[in-house]
Structure 1
């Protein structure tokens, strides 16, 4: 089981990143809640990880905080919630908003996340109601580091939204509605997700 890695951030193209650990490149998928705060490439990074082994694939998921990692693990234990949906949940809301939404049984708010229908939202709330008081997450705050500017942040932002489960036309529409096209990719994704959540 790979529980944590420490190395140099080599590449980042949401939701994928590549981390060099002593000459070995680890490819990980990360939620947008982690991607927003990644440092510039060639800088050291420490990630909490969850490793999933299946017959047809081996996948490694990375998180800047234990809080994100534990929420991800809580989600994938729920019947019908896979890793893709768990990443979408963490990308669609902050961890604090997710916990608050689940605590107040807000099914409508959960359904704003792509891939989460009414039955799935209800299942999440039912399954995690008995866990909400047991969540003992730390208050580790992330310090924002500006990432390196991508060649085409608009295109990268659209690709990231599609990878998270949004339809291509919805992703393009959300990004095109952003007034400030000079934003970095991470900021564009964040603004677009906020717009999609309000839609």
Structure 2
């Protein structure tokens, strides 16, 4: 799996961009939310990536933030939502707006996005409700106080992605966190505590 790329941005023609990584040109598709933040051609760029392998193609998708990549991965797990629709969602609403829509149950905003009809919007809200707010633009977890993006918020997001509920994530992370701990140390200690 290709999880991240850092290289020189050669060209950008939405939704495609070409990234030169040590002489290898990677064709990457990205949502407009990422395109809006791209540097000029010729500058260095780092993208979080997700590789989709199909019988007829290998497709590489790139994102400017881990929150976008995580939401993309959550979206393509939903029946009837493929990578193109997931890119359309990320191009039309921010990560925070999407989770807010899911939490409120309002499908009107989603229906306005290309490829999203009423039934798909309702399915997204219904199936994503359990995960609503697991990640946000700042890397926070639903129901938890916002903390600056760093080791604690990354650890919380990782614990939530492992299936722990927000209350459990907060309890575990607060119980083990000490100033200066790395993300990995917080996760390891939290997992040890969860198994007690």
Instruction: Calculate the TM-score normalised by the size of structure 1.
Output: 0.68
Task: Determine which structure has more spread, i.e. the larger CA radius of gyration.
Answer: 2
Aligned to 1:17: 17
CA deviation vs aligned residue, 1:145-186 (integer Å, no higher than 9, x gap): xxxxxxxxxxxxxxxxxxxxxxxxxxxxxxxxxxxxxxxxxx
Aligned to 1:109: 109
Aligned to 2:90: 90
Aligned to 1:31: 31
Is the 2:68–2:90 Cα contact (8 Å) retained in structure 1?
A: yes
Query: For the residues of structure 1 that align with 2:108 and 2:133, how far apart are their CA atoms?
Result: 22
Query: For the residues of structure 2 that align with 1:134 and 1:49, how far apart are their CA atoms?
Result: 19
Query: For the residues of structure 1 that align with 2:93 and 2:133, how far apart are their CA atoms?
Result: 20
**1:32 offset after TM fit, Å?**
0.2
Task: Flag structure 1 segments of 5+ consecutive residues without an equivalent.
Answer: 141-199
Aligned to 2:57: 57
Is the 2:39–2:45 Cα contact (8 Å) retained in structure 1?
A: yes
Query: For the residues of structure 2 that align with 1:73 and 1:66, how far apart are their CA atoms?
Result: 10
Is the 2:32–2:90 Cα contact (8 Å) retained in structure 1?
A: yes
Task: Flag structure 2 segments of 5+ consecutive residues without an equivalent.
Answer: 140-147, 150-196
Query: For the residues of structure 2 that align with 1:85 and 1:52, how far apart are their CA atoms?
Result: 14
RMSD, matched Cα: 1.3
SS class of match (1:5): strand
Query: For the residues of structure 2 that align with 1:76 and 1:53, how far apart are their CA atoms?
Result: 13
Aligned to 1:80: 80
CA deviation vs aligned residue, 1:113-169 (integer Å, no higher than 9, x gap): 0110011001101111001143365266xxxxxxxxxxxxxxxxxxxxxxxxxxxxx
Aligned to 1:128: 128
**1:25 offset after TM fit, Å?**
0.0
SS class of match (1:130): helix
How many residue pairs get matched?
140
Query: For the residues of structure 2 that align with 1:99 and 1:133, how far apart are their CA atoms?
Result: 5
Instruction: Calculate the TM-score normalised by the size of structure 2.
Output: 0.69
SS class of match (1:127): helix
Query: For the residues of structure 2 that align with 1:85 and 1:15, how far apart are their CA atoms?
Result: 13
Runs of 4+ in 1 over 4 A off after TM superposition: none
